[in-house]
Structure 1
């Protein structure tokens, strides 16, 4: 494992100082400064690897605290069990709301896996290589969508990423600037972007580079130009409120220490009033994943498990308030924002074990960010970050009053779960008219996360089929291993309604409840079909961007409940935190009859 960030020297004409560091390019022997290839995995925790037996023995003094972590012990139980009390999520005895004690409650990481909004192979196919494409979606989907453009793309891709939250917009701007403008080479910039997005701490070189980036963007008074060049021929632009620029300036010029910042982070991420909620999640994980989870939340650095992060001595000012307070939620988790199947496949290519879930994510994100940066260099890509209320933005685009988007109609529009707040009718009425009618594959994607709160009989626990769904969960969950780890259906029955096994089964049962009918009833009441028809569009019967719910396959349109392997179920729902009842709707242009 690379221990330090020192190495390749680059020159930045814009920033004056470039990253100077040896990047983490693979998993090496976990023993100190041994830089040999690691071929032998620790047989107990599976979290670290060694070049041989000698290094493993030398490292044991340091490693045993992780290898013997309480989360790996077969005797570990959630606090509500050891303290013999009902869990807080049943009694609503939460103490202070989890957005009140030290966090400002910003959703910085998301809780739905990033979406490839193009799916070129299922839609435009080879025609896409020569098409000008206009895309509108939430920022996190930017990476996977651009990375799906054909390798021989010759058109112009114009992208609008909107968020009403100024903190999110400015974070995205700085991360994109650091990744996509000339300065550090692509590998260095990609690794920096991973840390800027998810790590609480940075190395001195990274913090200096971040400071140079923010000064290049905002100057000293927040009066930025709003337009910046990229590694290629495209531009990065922003349209946002003056107040958010002023707050960003305060955040980036703040002077709190890493020690103070980590104290704030840990007070939230390990907050005592949220122990039962946290334990409920931890209980569903494999033992090694529990330890990986704990390490990330303790160090605050997204990196391979054995990485030495002692040189991360500066706070990441993109993830704390101007006063040094942790900005995001106590249940925020980087794993929840990505499809973990490809994450683990990527990690294995760099020598990371599946047990090291956050290490695998580090390598996956770095690879995706590097690919994205190279595409921005080679393709013509313009990216605009806007901070506007969604309804107002759609009206402004329709009136041709958004700079650089006059007469623009979109080939893809993704609205996240805004329909939960504004209703399906308004979202479709606002955005379906902005679809590109010249492209038969143009689509509006709408996500419903909270519809089950409004629709009767929408959950397994409300239905007589709950027992059948629980049976399906037992078939899909990891069986208890020789140490007693894993969820046991028999224990759920014996332990009663306070058993963590019981909560596991009841919650996971939702994944196998066929909610097609109640969702159809909900959608009918929402007026979605009528709103689409009024815009000359229709609800797509066979999806070609995202399955109708998480866990389904685009290859099987008739599928209504997940048909996953045990590993797939664990990746998606348990470790990856996917919502069991999310529904997705695709709205397409209604084609004229021939």
Structure 2
């Protein structure tokens, strides 16, 4: 499916109309169909700007609290080809909202023209999925990129492979054709191991092969290689997960217990309260169907296989209830892609389907055009660093492998930025003055006093808090004086102000204090690095531009703010840090 088809159906033609859709229903949010004992339509006020009590009750009805066995969803971030995911690692990678980004951005670094004939080594040291690798490759201009991914469909057309990858990554249910391709991948990667699981010699095989490695040919002239602990592969459930068979009803029930849990309804309401009416409906439809498709997409009855990558070997749903695929992508780009494929922006999850598919198609094309080698491991990031330095992870690298980019996601939130720099600075390409280690901080505002209005209103310094209240209320279209007089009645509006107040707060001084207290500033001297004062890969925070000062505040339109924070779920306190060579320079 490469464009939005007509939604019309006729009783004598169950396949419906296959012509391109050209008009959208102006009342798309006013009615919703629910199959109860008698099919009927219910008029609801999801279209109301204010998230009222009535809307909340109807939303609870729609999301299955009064009905059973509705497919909810959440979206994960999984590599499209199974490499044997550890259950604990999978859950960990899906707990937080990790934004996607390109890790190259040659324009402000090495330069596009200057890089045409250069080879690049890029390391995604703590990657819960392949989004950043996909985005980086899709926008990369050099001849021989070389990727190492710690944490492909082949022989089928890019279009079919991309669509299957979208569903394997984000849909709880698959079509038989998707399952067939998944089985093909499993056989290609693990086909020689599966028979050993039933063998009495399995333990001796593990002892003699502590690290399982394999290399496959992919599109183009490159390779896809794997390295994984054999013991983890056999005993920590990944192979059992891939071989499991669950009934659709059982899988749906287990997913419903998580993503539609009654105990979490208020958290869902908070998110819905900030959405446009049509986006509320799109969100609810996606949670109910469990399949990432446009409203008028393929017949959902075709999706009758369980996506084993999103369930444990016993059929338990593996993701968090708040996981949301929109939080993984740039919503402005998502809507733009959807509209280019004939969708109205109201169908935001349909737009996401086409956007992710387009990313995968371009990813496959780049594989065919360039020589790209991808190496995937599932080792702890610190262990992977040590193994690379000793030349044991991939012997073909030798001990001299160096990277032009090292993307570490938000590992620093758990082990500290100094440890990240200790692990990866020896592997940074010192011959490239633009080489950089990328660090993403999400939790620092909870640890640093005075960093967040939400966590420490009484400790905030300066007089920009009242101004920030006024600005956030204005951009949300809320009358602040009226709200302050009657907070109970409009509690959702008050929550949305408080939840986003840090967007327009300058807390860079608190960030610098945090980097001193956690030892990062000392680590820079130890490892001969420096913190870039102006980011050249990703803006320091959401809403500012590359090259802006560290204390710059977001300058956003109402639409940009909505796409980034309300629909996209971005956190105002998130910070992106870039550590380069001491001799390097900014713009």
Same fold (TM over 0.5): yes
Q: 1:143 to 1:285 in 2, by over 3 A?
A: same
Is 1:192 aligned with 2:171? no
Aligned to 2:309: 318
Distance 1:64 1:34 in 2: 23
Distance 1:105 1:63 in 2: 38
Aligned to 2:384: 393
Q: Is the 8 A contact 2:293 2:353 kept in 1?
A: yes
Map Cα deviations across residues 129-155 of structure 1 (whole Å, 9 max, x no partner). Answer: 1111111112331100111211xx32x
Classify the secondary structure of the residue corresponding to 1:262: helix
Q: 1:405 aligns with which of 367, 372, 397?
A: 397
Q: 2:2 aligns with which of 16, 25, 29?
A: 25
Classify the secondary structure of the residue corresponding to 2:397: coil
Aligned to 1:352: 343
Q: Is the 8 A contact 2:224 2:374 kept in 1?
A: yes
Q: Is the 8 A contact 1:109 1:333 kept in 2?
A: no
Classify the secondary structure of the residue corresponding to 2:362: helix
Classify the secondary structure of the residue corresponding to 1:384: strand
Map Cα deviations across residues 29-65 of structure 1 (whole Å, 9 max, x no partner). Answer: 11121122222111122799xxxxxxxxxxxxx9984
Q: 2:445 aligns with which of 442, 452, 458?
A: 452
Classify the secondary structure of the residue corresponding to 2:102: coil
Distance 2:497 2:439 in 1: 29
Aligned to 2:574: 582
Distance 1:198 1:496 in 2: 38
- The TM-score normalised by the length of structure 2 is 0.82
Indicate the larger mover: 532-541 or 224-233.
224-233
Shift of 1:591: 1.9
Q: Is the 8 A contact 1:305 1:359 kept in 2?
A: yes
Aligned to 1:472: 471
Distance 2:244 2:561 in 1: 43
Distance 2:265 2:479 in 1: 22
Shift of 1:401: 2.5
Indicate the larger mover: 191-200 or 257-266.
257-266
Q: Is the 8 A contact 2:508 2:551 kept in 1?
A: no
Shift of 1:208: 2.0
Q: 1:413 to 1:75 in 2, by over 3 A?
A: closer
Shift of 1:375: 0.7
Map Cα deviations across residues 514-555 of structure 1 (whole Å, 9 max, x no partner). Answer: 111111111122222321222222111111001111221115
Aligned to 1:59: none
Distance 2:506 2:571 in 1: 14
Distance 2:423 2:49 in 1: 54
Map Cα deviations across residues 183-208 of structure 1 (whole Å, 9 max, x no partner). Answer: x1110000000000000011112112
Indicate the larger mover: 213-222 or 185-194.
213-222
Shift of 1:69: 4.5
Is 1:370 aligned with 2:361? yes
- Unaligned 5+ residue runs, structure 1? 1-23, 49-61, 84-97, 164-175, 480-486
Q: 2:548 aligns with which of 537, 552, 556?
A: 556
Aligned to 2:285: 295
Distance 2:405 2:96 in 1: 20
Q: Is the 8 A contact 1:107 1:329 kept in 2?
A: no
Q: What are the within-5 Å matches in structure 2 for residues 250-329 of structure 1? A: 250-307=240-297, 308-329=299-320
Q: Is the 8 A contact 1:135 1:411 kept in 2?
A: yes
Shift of 1:559: 5.9
Q: Is the 8 A contact 2:213 2:227 kept in 1?
A: no
Aligned to 1:169: none
Q: Is the 8 A contact 1:116 1:545 kept in 2?
A: yes
Q: 1:47 to 1:261 in 2, by over 3 A?
A: farther
Shift of 1:446: 0.7
Shift of 1:454: 1.2
Q: 2:560 aligns with which of 554, 559, 568?
A: 568
Aligned to 2:52: 77
Aligned to 2:109: 123
Shift of 1:566: 0.4
- Unaligned 5+ residue runs, structure 2? 10-15, 32-37, 59-73, 75-86, 197-211
Q: Is the 8 A contact 2:408 2:438 kept in 1?
A: yes
Q: 1:81 to 1:350 in 2, by over 3 A?
A: closer
Distance 2:268 2:391 in 1: 47
Question: How much is the aligned-residue C-alpha RMSD, in angstroms?
Answer: 2.7
Q: Is the 8 A contact 2:536 2:547 kept in 1?
A: no
Q: 1:491 to 1:226 in 2, by over 3 A?
A: farther
Q: 1:459 to 1:225 in 2, by over 3 A?
A: closer
Q: Is the 8 A contact 1:476 1:564 kept in 2?
A: no
Q: What are the within-5 Å matches in structure 2 for residues 83-232 of structure 1? A: 105-108=91-94, 111-125=97-111, 126-137=113-124, 138=127, 139-150=130-141, 153-154=142-143, 156-163=144-151, 176=152, 178=153, 181-182=154-155, 184-219=156-191, 221-222=193-194, 226-232=214-220
Shift of 1:255: 1.5
Q: 1:328 to 1:592 in 2, by over 3 A?
A: closer
Distance 1:310 1:30 in 2: 16
Aligned to 1:6: none
Map Cα deviations across residues 67-103 of structure 1 (whole Å, 9 max, x no partner). Answer: x4453356753699879xxxxxxxxxxxxxx9xxx99
Indicate the larger mover: 68-77 or 309-318.
68-77
Distance 2:270 2:293 in 1: 25
Is 1:508 aligned with 2:500? yes
Distance 1:202 1:80 in 2: 31
Distance 1:408 1:324 in 2: 41
Aligned to 2:64: none
Distance 1:73 1:160 in 2: 48
Q: Is the 8 A contact 1:470 1:505 kept in 2?
A: yes
Classify the secondary structure of the residue corresponding to 2:93: coil
Q: Is the 8 A contact 1:514 1:561 kept in 2?
A: yes
Classify the secondary structure of the residue corresponding to 2:583: coil
- The TM-score normalised by the length of structure 1 is 0.81
Distance 2:247 2:230 in 1: 27
| Paired positions, count | 512
